[in-house]
Amino acid sequence: MDLGSLGTLTVSDDFGTYRELAIGARTAFVLEDAIHEGDRREAYAFFRLLGYRFNHGDRSDARRILHWAYDFKDTEIESNRTLRALTVVARRFLAHRGLPFAFLERAYANIALYGDVQLAHDDGDVWTALYFANPEWDLDFGGELFMYGEDPSVAVAIQPRPGRLVVFDGMIPHRAGVPSKLCLDPRITVAIKLRRSRDDGATEER
């Protein structure tokens, strides 16, 4: 999937090869090269310098277990070419698959360091598009995205490969893996959540 020039937001509708994962009765999709290789370092530098706050919890029953996150304002999504591109790719992919959505509910970045704690949770009635922002990632760095089946047991572990975008049903229980001690850079992901339509009508974007 070649996005071409992100400066002018040239985004392709040809999604090429992507993987579809069945997790119980729900589905996840793994897309490669969501951001052009030449733009990944610049994008990572932007995400790394955001004003993260230690106030994001995964579940209501564990309010004291927090991690670092940054919520994007609508104006930031429009003004930053990487955020704009990721949002367009997520919307176009869902439309390509005939999966209805209503509107962009929220977009934010997560930062994880060795020793942090992440909890299993679901995102609710949304489609979540999760972008792995690190421009380099070694297999021994860990940090996989874990998705759970109905057991519950780990159904799939998705490596945070550079440029990879995972689009999945927000009701799938999942957990962000923290990086290993070998990883000297923070693991950064960008989450875009699109509220699902409750009917089969046309999508409405905002």
pLDDT in tens, 100-125: 999 999 999 999 999 999 999 999 99
- The domains of the chain are located at 18-196
**Bridging pattern class, strands 26-31 and 165-169:** antiparallel
pTM greater than 0.85:
yes
pLDDT attached to residue 154? 93
- Give the CA distances from residue 113 to residues 178, 183, 202, in Å, rounded to whole numbers and listed in that order: 6, 8, 41
pLDDT in tens, 54-106: 988 888 888 889 999 999 999 999 999 999 999 999 999 999 999 999 999 99
Q: What phi and psi, each to the nearest 5 degrees, are found at residue 43?
A: -65, -45
Reference 183, options 159, 200, 203, 152; nearest CA is: 159
Token duo for residue 41: 């370092």
pLDDT attached to residue 2? 41
pLDDT attached to residue 200? 46
Token duo for residue 135: 């421009």
pLDDT in tens, 6-50: 344 445 567 777 899 999 899 999 999 999 889 999 999 999 999
Mapped onto helix, strand or coil, the DSSP state of residue 150 is: coil
pLDDT attached to residue 12? 58
pLDDT in tens, 155-190: 999 999 999 999 999 999 999 999 999 999 999 999
pLDDT attached to residue 167? 97
The yes/no answer on whether domain 18-196 falls in CATH 3.40.50.620 is no
pLDDT attached to residue 151? 83
pLDDT in tens, 124-160: 999 999 999 999 999 999 999 999 998 878 999 999 9
- Higher pLDDT: 121 or 2? It is 121
Edge-first strand order for the sheet with 174-176 is 154-158, 145-148, 174-176
- Higher pLDDT: 206 or 16? It is 16
